[in-house]
Structure 1
Amino acid sequence: MRLVYFASLRERIGKSEEELDLPDSLRTIGELIDWLAARDEFYAAAFAKGIARAAINKKHVKPEALIAGAREIAFFPPMTGG
């Protein structure tokens, strides 16, 4: 699975993207975020406070979105506008 990280998440993790073999037990974006946060302190810092947003195949999704069939999952901090 290709995972892409943007902005502050990229800075905290120290990479803009990576290819990972995800456990079959992961079904949703929320479960993936929890799994990533448990990898080490850099991922934990990036995904702290549950504020990360996600996109599957360039479409914004909620934490309960299923990841089956995804080619790319991107993570980014909340966006503001004005």
Structure 2
Amino acid sequence: MIKILLFAELQEEAGVDQIEVDKAGSTVTELKEWLLQEYKLSSLSNTMIAINESYATEEERVKDGDTVAFIPPVSGG
């Protein structure tokens, strides 16, 4: 199992802040595709990704027990 953390508008769109799913071995791209299909997250394409609190690329594979965070861009002034 892996834990997926959602923040800001992703959390609002999905209606949850975290998801546990049996997707170990998937790439980040595959996780994003699954999330788009399951939760219709329109703002998923512009997110930063972290695996176990370290920034990751979309080609990286997740392992059992990993925590994957999808972090939308932050605006400020």
Give the TM-score normalised by the residue count of structure 2: 0.78
**What is the deviation of 1:54?**
1.2
Given the superposition, is the C-alpha separation of residues 78 and 7 from structure 1 closer, same or farther in structure 2, using an over 3 Å criterion?
same
Give the TM-score normalised by the residue count of structure 1: 0.74
- Aligned equivalent of 1:53: 48
2:3 equivalent to 1:7: no
Mapped to 2, the partners of 1:47 and 1:64 lie a distance apart of 19
Q: How does 1:8-23 map to 2 (within 5 A)?
A: 8-22=9-23
Offset from partner CA, 1:54-78 (integer Å, 9 cap, x none): 1100111121122135521111112
2:26 equivalent to 1:31: no
Mapped to 2, the partners of 1:62 and 1:81 lie a distance apart of 25
**What is the deviation of 1:28?**
1.0
Matched residue SS, 2:35: helix
Aligned residues: 76
- Provide runs of 4+ in structure 1 moved above 6 Å: none
Q: Which runs of 5+ in 1 are unaligned?
A: none
Identity of aligned residues (%): 30
RMSD of equivalent CA atoms: 2.2
